[in-house]
Amino acid sequence: MQVEDAGKVDSVEMKMLLDALPKGSVSDPSAQRLAHFISSISNNKVPVSSLSRIWTLGSLQARVTAGYFAYWLRSRFSDAEEKDRLKREAHLAAALKLFGTMGYLRGAVMKIGQMLANLPEVVPEEFAEVLSALHFEAPPMHYSLVREVFLDEFDREPEEMFASFDQQAFAAASLGQVHRARLHSGEEVAVKIQYPGIARTIKADLRNLRLLLQPLCLAIDWQDTLAKLADIERMLLMETDYAQEAVFGKLARSTFTASDRVVVPQVYVEFSTKRVLTTEYLQGCHLDEYLAGNPAQAERDHFTHLLTVATYRLYYRLHWLPADPHPGNFIFMADGRLGIIDFGCTLALSDEDWIFSNEAIQAALDRDLPGLNRSIAKACRFDDPDDMEPDHLDVIRQGFYWFMEPWQQEGIFDFGDRDFFLRGINNVIEATRKGYTRSVPMTIWSNRFTFGGRAFCYKLKGRCEFRKIFLQEWQHQ
């Protein structure tokens, strides 16, 4: 439905948009042309946008996101012929229209857009905020829909299965929502229910994203982008299988003892299927609520210690990357234990990836520069470090050194140190700006694991004896 034409875009909004858009240094110093281009394609509004989480290109932030996206794509063809450029712009316009049709990716794309819009002055707090919001969003389900899922999965209504079942969800989960319930045997449980048909939407979203990125198909890293998208799709589809998550949950639970003070909730298999996952309910709060209580430093350190033990236990014993260290997946329990509740996005490393991952760490620990360079080249999909531009190698290596800092420091490491976190962000920004993004798909998850975990600890302002923990977990693997 055409509700306003391009010429009537609110002038205040347009000014904000212009301010926010990146400026091309030569061809379009004020980004006027780009802003006009975006506004001219962004006015097709879906008439019922509030019905779920439908997002349209009509909103300012969406335009900024789209604008950055367009700018980024264009910059890849800055030296192309004018005719070629026009062709690509037409392609881009069509692709951007697709942008608004994406279902579950929208939230994630918006957050990336917000961060891009702040790139020149991105601050650690925003970075941490954006990271924690980067996940798929399913629309909320009303109780009648939940009941239909139950009838299909168990042939029974929730009330028939549980002694009590809270009709209102208490939390959004990846790809669904979570309800509290009580078993007939008395246990309090959390029941995660998946929004119906989500796998199809994920496939459609990623298909759209590939189309959206089509203008890049001739760029050198196109195959790399495709490989990564394929890996993302694989992981997301795996996340739709709650039976798989139950297996991960049970394995993880068996990895910790009471003295670890880390709790993975018990899975109730008889109340779980591929679409419904019932686990023990852990009483406690999430990061924001925990921080609102202004906890003492010793307490923050305690939880940072537990988080580090938990994640590196999973890494060394099970060869897993808990690739979604989202704050919603951790529970601060009143008795000082840390709960880990979501294993949907867990990457179980192949033997090859496991060995490769440790080679790089070992080379850094041994200060074996040639070995580290070889690992970096391999991670960036080069046969040899000499095939990389020196600056490329250097930027990526700096990032890896940053990653390794806590491993190399004896005693307490302060993850709340703003300068430390900022250096990590700046490295990511530098690598992105310079187009040093080619890498093996595993790095998507290892980066998410690292940055997600560190953003969490940064928000927590926590410290721990990282090196000691890592050595312990490494020795007991």
Q: Which of 324, 342, 353, 414 is catalytic?
A: 324
Concerning whether 324 is annotated as a catalytic residue, the answer is yes
**Nearest-approach distance from CB 148 to another protein, in angstroms:** 5
Query: Given candidates 144, 185, 257, 294, which one binds another protein under the rule CB under 8 A?
Result: 144
**Nearest-approach distance from CB 429 to another protein, in angstroms:** 23
End-to-end CA distance of the chain: 60
> Which of 16, 365 has the CB closer to another protein?
16
Query: Given candidates 152, 270, 383, 389, which one binds another protein under the rule CB under 8 A?
Result: 152
Stretch of 41-49, 230-238, 326-334, 411-419 contacting another protein, by CB under 8 A: 41-49
Q: Which residues of 276-298 are buried (b: 16+ CB within 10 A; e: fewer)?
A: bbbbbbbebebbeebbeeebeee
Per-residue binding string, another protein, 416-445, x by CB under 8 A, is ------------------------------
Distance CA 341, CA 8 (A): 49
Distance CA 449, CA 349 (A): 13
Query: Given candidates 92, 105, 110, 341, which one binds another protein under the rule CB under 8 A?
Result: 110
Query: Given candidates 12, 26, 51, 334, which one binds another protein under the rule CB under 8 A?
Result: 51
Distance CA 449, CA 437 (A): 17
Q: Is 58 in the site for another protein (CB under 8 A)?
A: yes
**Nearest-approach distance from CB 320 to another protein, in angstroms:** 28
Residues 6+ apart with CB under 8 A from 64: 17, 20, 21, 113, 114, 117
Per-residue binding string, another protein, 445-474, x by CB under 8 A, is ------------------------------
Which residue type is seen at 358?
Answer: N
Stretch of 151-159, 249-257, 282-290, 297-305 contacting another protein, by CB under 8 A: 151-159
**Nearest-approach distance from CB 288 to another protein, in angstroms:** 15
Stretch of 18-26, 184-192, 196-204, 428-436 contacting another protein, by CB under 8 A: 196-204
Query: Given candidates 145, 227, 243, 422, which one binds another protein under the rule CB under 8 A?
Result: 145
Query: Given candidates 56, 255, 266, 358, which one binds another protein under the rule CB under 8 A?
Result: 56
What is the β-pairing status of strands 463-464 and 413-414?
antiparallel
Residue 386 CB coordination number (10 Å): 10
Using alpha carbons, select from 375, 385, 391, 394 the residue that is nearest to residue 443.
375
Residue 2 CB coordination number (10 Å): 8
Taking only Cα atoms into account, the Rg of the chain, rounded to an integer number of angstroms, comes to 24
Distance CA 173, CA 179 (A): 10
Alpha-helical segments (H) within 409-436: 418-433
Report residue 427 as tokens: 């490295």
Binding site for another protein (CB under 8 A): 45-56, 58-62, 110, 139, 141-145, 147-149, 151-153, 157, 167, 195-198, 200-201, 275
Q: Give the active site residues.
A: 324
